[in-house]
A and B are shown apart, each in its own frame.
Chain A
Amino acid sequence: MAKGAKIALAGEGGQGVQSVAMIITEAAYEDGREALYIPNFGVEQRGGVSVAYVQISDEPIGSPKFKTADIVIALSDRAVRRTQRYVGDKTIFVYDADIEGVEDDLPKNAAKVLAIPAIKVAKDELHPRVFNIVIMGAVIGATGVVDVDRAKQAIEKKLGYKFEKDPKLRELNFKALERGMELVKEEL
């Protein structure tokens, strides 16, 4: 079977999981790797948990969705519950440390369960709006699916027009990416 990462990203609408998935897969595609991204898009997308399924590999990718993820990132209490089904005994399960009341809902069968303070770091050290970039950093830190420079290029491509107006934003986003990577690496 194709070697590579299967990533399930889940959060509430507005947390930016779909744009993170999009930037990561584009970065992998620019890197010449096989990349596939599909959002969940039921009627549930109105007011439900937003899930992005990402696969990056060096071989052709099989089915667009998968049963078991290599890494699950859950960004809300509902997302924690919703993503249990993608957890297997080799899965790294990452959730935000600020999510309350999910202690009993965390997967018992995962290889690792990591709580990272992404929301807090974004809010205290950076800016709440770069929360999704912190998460993107966490995904890259946990999987190594794309090179950090390639990830920065992908961010540049997506947000470059904003950086033109305010170069400080570039710095902020790149910092967010690096902090996200560190957060995971500290825990791994």
Chain B
Amino acid sequence: MADKPIEGEKRVFMTGNEVVAWAALAAGAEIMYGYPITPQNEIMHYWTRLAPKYGRKFLQTEDEISAGFTTIGGVLAGRRAFTATSGPGNTLMQEPMSMAEMMRIPVVQVVTQRGGPSTATVIYSQQEVTMTCFGGNGEGARIVYSTSTHQELFDYTIKAFNTAWKYRFPTHILGDGYQSKMRESLTMYDPASRGIEMVPTEPYVAKGGVPGIDRDPNHLRNTYNTEDELYDVVMGIMSDWEKYAPEIAEYQEFDAEDAEVLIVAHGVVTRAVQAAVKELRAQGKKVGHFRPVTLRPLAEEQLRKRAENAKVVLVVESAYGQLCKIIANSLYGLTTPIKKVLKPGVGVTAEEVVEEVSKLL
């Protein structure tokens, strides 16, 4: 059996779904559970081809509810376990994700956003932001990385396992169909070669020793009898969430410091916005870009600081205001007006962003 999936570093040119499979292998993911849905399928295809060579496992379940709950089972057994889905599958997976949120189970879920609502398209959107961040009957104690390049898909898929196991919140890679299906270059690496240490995992059940004799049994539950009991549990989760949010939150800025027009965009749309900002700056226009890498938690303070100094905030997204809701909520109290470019289910090009910004200047 081969030792390490990737030795040292390797420059490659491949699709995003292939990148995710390699990254999960490199991160030491031990088992994947999944159910077919486009545009996620090739993550499973590559995983099922590669995994046996490195002693890793796969289970194709009967639906996404099961894929989510079996992933929870894998984590409870102490394994780095993950799943991947999209659209209506993500909808079904909200049930297990809410259990993971309540019980602090570090599952990793890769979401390849497709059009919505309903079956919609199998192609692309940013319409699973609200669901991935806040789905299920919970408070949104989930970590959501929104990637924009294949390099980030690789980096953050590895990081997701570490963040999940370090903080014990369900952790999500929010990609999209474009990222899944496009080919571009990136550098893959063995995390150890870059000094990245994988956070060790531990079993929640079958921990060794006879429960009741050698140790107490681990009784895990998500049901509570009284309101007070539940309140204490949820407040415990949220107090941890608030405590760790600042160290988990990640963002990027592009000419944001003196920007009069501050464009906020995430995921693959940031690519178009970055190009547009370059072009507009070349024209001498004071345009900048704030790009949240984590949508949950959001780097609120940094965003507010930039938005405060801008004349207008422009939210650009491939959805009808799902990012905007998060942004507007965190900018509450500021007088900077918020404008929107909302393109549900379709891509955004640099040319369009330039055009929209030009209307504002």
Whether A and B touch (Cβ < 8 Å) is answered with: yes
Judge if A39 is at the interface, Cβ distance under 8 Å.
Answer: yes
Residue of B whose beta carbon sits closest to that of A40: B123
Q: Binary interface profile of B, 294-336, with partner A (CB < 8 Å = 1, else 0)?
A: 0000000000000000000000000000000000000000000
Give the number of residues in B that approach A within 8 Å (Cβ atoms): 29
Give A68 to B354 CA distance when docked, in angstroms: 14
Chain B contacts for A29, CB-based, 8 A: 13, 185
Q: Binary interface profile of A, 23-51, with partner B (CB < 8 Å = 1, else 0)?
A: 00110010000111111111100000000
* One of A59-67, A113-121, A125-133, A140-148 contacting the partner: A59-67
Considering only residues 24-79 of chain B, those with a C-beta below 8 Å from chain A are 38-39
Judge if A159 is at the interface, Cβ distance under 8 Å.
Answer: no
Judge if A2 is at the interface, Cβ distance under 8 Å.
Answer: yes
Considering only residues 160-205 of chain B, those with a C-beta below 8 Å from chain A are 177-179, 181-185
CB distance from B311 to the nearest CB of A (A): 24
Do the beta carbons of B183 and A68 come within 8 Å of each other?
no
Judge if B23 is at the interface, Cβ distance under 8 Å.
Answer: no
Do the beta carbons of A65 and B183 come within 8 Å of each other?
no
* One of B81-89, B103-111, B231-239, B272-280 contacting the partner: B272-280
Residue of A whose beta carbon sits closest to that of B178: A64
Judge if B121 is at the interface, Cβ distance under 8 Å.
Answer: yes
Do the beta carbons of A25 and B183 come within 8 Å of each other?
yes
Do the beta carbons of A64 and B13 come within 8 Å of each other?
no
CB distance from A151 to the nearest CB of B (A): 15
CB distance from A14 to the nearest CB of B (A): 20
Chain B contacts for A65, CB-based, 8 A: 178, 347, 349
**Which residue of B177, B278, B347 is within 8 Å of A41 (Cβ)?**
B177
Chain A residues within CB distance 8 Å of chain B: 1-2, 22, 25-26, 29, 34-43, 60-68
Known: A36-B184, A40-B123, A60-B274. 19 other contacts (CB 8 A): A1-B350, A22-B183, A35-B13, A35-B183, A35-B185, A38-B182, A41-B39, A41-B122, A41-B123, A60-B275, A62-B271, A62-B276, A63-B271, A63-B349, A63-B350, A64-B271, A64-B347, A65-B347, A68-B351
